[in-house]
Amino acid sequence: MKVAKCIMDSTKQRLLGMTLAELKDVAKSLGMPAFTGGQIAQWLYVKHVKSIDEMTNLSKQNRERLKEAYEVGCMPPADSQHSVDGTVKYLLPVRCADDSHREEERFVETVFIPDGERATLCVSCQVGCKMNCLFCQTGKQGWHGNLTAADILNQIYAIPECEQLTNIVFMGQGEPMDNLDAVLRATEVLTADWGWAWSPKRITVSSVGVRGKLKRFLDESPCHVAISLHSPLHEQRAQLMPSEKAMSINEVVELLRGYDFAHQRRLSFEYIVFGGLNDSMAHAKAIVDLLRGLDCRINLIRFHQIPGVPLHGADEQTMLRFRDYLTAHGVFTTIRASRGQDIYAACGLLSTARQQGESC
């Protein structure tokens, strides 16, 4: 990819990502009526303006006053790649802070996936990831910082297809529960009547299962939930996903049993099928036992090879047999279509290490 620098004034605060209450406080702090905050929210989240100058129902004096300390904070993509199947992968600049609280410009990838009348955006919430799942290229990059709510929303705000989107999935780079405050703020803006006013049914947030954080998300957000399963067996899942040692899949499922997924909110499990590893009928039977009585569905995913990982995908016949067994035993199962593989936009392939001069 050719990376283009995107300059944003680091001395100014970003309006993007602020709640209605915060925007009203901004207005009042600058000597404007509180209702001006509502006008700013409409310009940001309904009309998606890129500059304060476009907020034409604010007086010129108020726009100038606002511009002294604030900016919209929309940063356009630095680059994009287009797949033969219509998928588009965008490289976006972010200003995130690492454990030392140093803020610097980095990059994340987000993926636009058109599919008939449905248009999904797969967004990232971290630069890299701490979970280090064996099969995921993002984990090989390491973790380099959390995205702010503004940087999460900018992935939606800045792409040309913004108005076409029907769904958002938090399945890009990073573990959403590991950056929960920013994810909750972003989903609040997306679903609030003063924000994007989307139904929570249009948003799915994924997780490997993080103790304490997953429960908080389930309590505070009405959005759909997708759990990364990949093996129903504790020891094998721990080899694939180190997070299993901190919160086992049995504990995750037990937690989920305390919530209602029979009505508005949907629960799904993501299962990458590895040839000769987790694709046996013994695994399928263990999944049925694990999820018995839980209102959910399973998405089977084809494995996409990444360098240095001794895993390979299952053949089509095995995928179909696995799906049919689960569905026949009460666990509705689909095989997810693989999209954007030719531009490394498919599941598990996102990484910005190369753009940032890192090794992985």
List residues with catalytic annotation: 109, 347
Beta bridge partners of 272: 301
Measuring CA to CA, which residue among 82, 63, 77 is closest to residue 15?
A: 63
**Cα gap 175→297, rounded to integer Å:** 21
- Are 159 and 110 in contact by the 8 Å Cβ rule? The answer is yes
- DSSP assignment, residue 182? H
- Are 79 and 58 in contact by the 8 Å Cβ rule? The answer is no
Tokens 């901190």 sit on residue: 246
- 170, 193, 251, 353 from 186: Cα distances, Å: 11, 14, 27, 25
Measuring CA to CA, which residue among 205, 111, 203 is closest to residue 166?
A: 203
Q: Is 39 exposed, middle or buried (0-12, 13-18, 19+ CB in 10 A)?
A: middle
> Which amino acid is residue 87, in one-letter code?
T
Measuring CA to CA, which residue among 336, 325, 342 is closest to residue 287?
A: 325
- Give the helix, strand, coil percentages of the chain, each rounded to 5: 35, 20, 45
**Cα gap 339→201, rounded to integer Å:** 22
- DSSP assignment, residue 143? E
**Cα gap 135→229, rounded to integer Å:** 13
Residue 170 phi, psi dihedral angles, 5° rounding: -90, 75
Beta bridge partners of 16: none
